[in-house]
Chain A
Amino acid sequence: MHDFSLPIGPVNPSIKEPACIQLNLDGNMIKNAKLNLGYAHKGVEHLLEGKKIEQALYIAQRICGICSFCHSNGFNQSIEKILDYDAPKRVKYIRTLVTELERIQSHMLWMGFMFHEFGFETMFQYLLRDREHVLQLFERVTGGRVHHAINKPKTVRYDLKKQDITFILEKMDLLEKQFKKYFGIIKKDGVTKERLVDVGLISKKRAKRFCLVGPTARASGINNDIRDKHPYDAYPYLDFEVIMRKKGDAYTRLIVRLLEVLESIKIIRQLMKGLPEQKIPEAKLIFIEKGMSTSQVEAPRGENFYFTTIKNNKVDRAKIRTPTFAVINILPTLLENRPVGDVPVILHSLDPCFSCMERVIIVKDKKREVIDEHTFLHKYCDHHH
C-alpha cells in the first residue's frame, strides 16, 4: 500500500472556519496528523492595548460570535476586581441569565452541526429551528441577536421588564419539552450510536495531561466547572448540578452538552424566581490610574481566562486564554489510527472555534522571562494598591 499525505483545509475543513489538518495516510487509516493554525489571526490583544476601558469592553466581546457575552463578562469582571466593586444582586442575576442563555444557544448550534457532520440532517434542522427561540429572547432582552452589548462597567445596559420574565419562562417550557424529546431520539437512534460511540476516546489521565477544559473535560470525568469551583456573579446563590460522565468519547460529549442545556433551563427558572426587586445603577464613566487583575468565567466551551493591566485609564495589556485553544491541542493524537471518515466527527466533537483561539507567542532573542505576580507588581504597577 502507498503512503499518502492528505491536506484538509485551509478552506472550510468540514467547519466554516479556516484551519489546515495535514494527514499522513496508510490506505484509509491515518498514521499521524498535524494541525496548522494561523489563518484567522485578528490581533485582538494588540487592538485592546491603548483603548479606554469602555471601548475595550465592546472590542473584547467581538472576539467570538457565539460566546460574545462571556468575553465581555470576563473583561468586566477583571475591571470590577481592580475597582474592588461588588455589583448589586439584580445586575448579577441579569448577567447570569445572559450567560446561561448563551450556553443554551451555543450547545444547540454545536449539537445541530454535530448531527450535520454525520448526515442526520433532520435533527440539524430541528435544533436550528428551536435555537431561534433563544435568539428571540436575546433580541428582546439585550437588543442584539449575536453581539449583546448589555454589559457595562459596574452595571448593565437594560433592566428586565415584567413581561420579559413571563416570555422567558414560556420559552424555557417549550425548550425543555423539545429537549426531552431529542434526548429520547438520541438514546435510541442507531446511526448516532454507530458513528459516535468509541470515537475520539479521551481517558481521564489524558484529559489531565492535555489540560482540557469545559464540557470536553467533564465528559472525561474531570470537574473543572468555574461556576462550581470559583463561583462568580449569581452562581453562589443558585442550586445546580455539574454534569459529569466518565467514558470520554464523542457520544458522551453529546450527552453531557445535552444535559447541560437542561441544567441551564433549571438555572434560568431559579433566576427568574429569585430575581430581587432593585433599581439597577446608572452607568457612569470610571477612572483607574493603575491596576492589574485576573478573572475567570465559564463560557459555553470552558474556562475563559482574562489577565488585564490598566495604566492611566487605558488598557496596557490584555492576555486572553480561550477554552478552544486549550481543547484543540489534543486533536492530532485523537486522529491517529482512525479512518479518514472520522475526521469531521472527531474535529467537531471538540467544539472548535478558530476565530477565538488564534494567538501569537513572541520569543525575543530566544529568551524567556518568567514573571510571578510579586515581581510583576514591582516592575509594571509600582503604585498598585
Chain B
Amino acid sequence: MGIKKEVLKNLLKRPSTSKYPGKEIDPEDRFRGKITFDKKECIGCGLCRAFCPAECITLTWRKKKFVVRGVEHQKIIHPIHKIDIGKCIRCGLCVDVCPVDCIWFTSKFELADKDKKKLISKM
C-alpha cells in the first residue's frame, strides 16, 4: 500500500529536478569550485607549488625592480604562471598556505571540456 500512496502523491507534486542549463544554480558559500589566482599580487614564494599534491601548479620568472638608498636594483622572482584544472583535486592546500592570499576558490563548477588544453587556467 505504501508505494501506491507515494505514487499518487507524486502525481500532484511538481518535479523535484530543476531545468538545469536554463536555470542557474547557486552553489553554497563554502563550495570549492575552479581555482583562480592574481599574478600581480604573487610574491613568488613557491609554497603553493611545493604543497600541491597533484603537482598542477607551474611557476614562471619575472624581473622585479627595487630601490635601495637611491640605487636601483633588479632581482628575479618566480610568480605563479598557470594551474592545470584537469589535474587539480581541489584540496585547497595552496589556498591555505598562500601568505598573501592571491589564490582563491570560485564557485564555478562547469569545468568539463573536450580539449585538454582549455583546462589550463592562466591570468
Contacts and interface: CB of A to CB of B under 8 A. Distances in A.
Interface of A: 51-52, 54-56, 58-59, 62, 122-123, 126, 129, 132, 139-144, 147, 149, 157-158, 181-182, 184-185, 188-189, 283
A58 B2 contact: no
B30 A142 contact: yes
A122 B1 contact: no
A157 B92 contact: yes
B7 interface: yes
9 contacts: A52-B51, A56-B53, A143-B32, A144-B32, A147-B89, A149-B90, A157-B92, A181-B2, A182-B2
B61 interface: no
A24 to B, nearest CB: 39
Given A143-B31, A143-B32, A188-B1, A126 B92 contact: no
B53 A58 contact: yes
A52 B91 CA distance: 14
Q: Is the interface of B mostly helix, strand, loop or mixed?
A: loop
B100 to A, nearest CB: 17
Contacts of A51: 53
Given A59-B89, A122-B7, A185-B3, 15 more contacts: A54-B51, A55-B51, A59-B53, A122-B3, A122-B6, A123-B3, A139-B30, A142-B30, A143-B31, A147-B89, A149-B92, A157-B92, A182-B2, A189-B3, A283-B96
A5 B43 CA distance: 65
Contacts of B120: none
A283 B93 CA distance: 11
Contacts of B1: 188
Contact of A149 (B27, B28, B32, B51): B32
A124 to B, nearest CB: 12
Contact of A185 (B2, B16, B89, B96): B2
B31 A139 contact: yes
Contact of A54 (B16, B27, B28, B93): B93
Given A54-B51, A189-B3, A140 B89 contact: no
Nearest to B5: A181
Given A51-B53, A126-B6, A184-B2, A140 B30 contact: yes
Nearest to B93: A54
A156 to B, nearest CB: 12
A355 B96 CA distance: 29
Interface string B53-89: 1000000000000000000000000000000000001
A314 to B, nearest CB: 12
Contacts of B31: 139, 143-144
Contacts of A55: 51-53, 93
A139 B96 contact: no
A216 B11 CA distance: 37
A137 B32 CA distance: 14
Given A59-B53, A158-B30, A283-B96, A144 B6 contact: no
Contacts of B28: 139-140, 143
Contacts of A185: 2-3
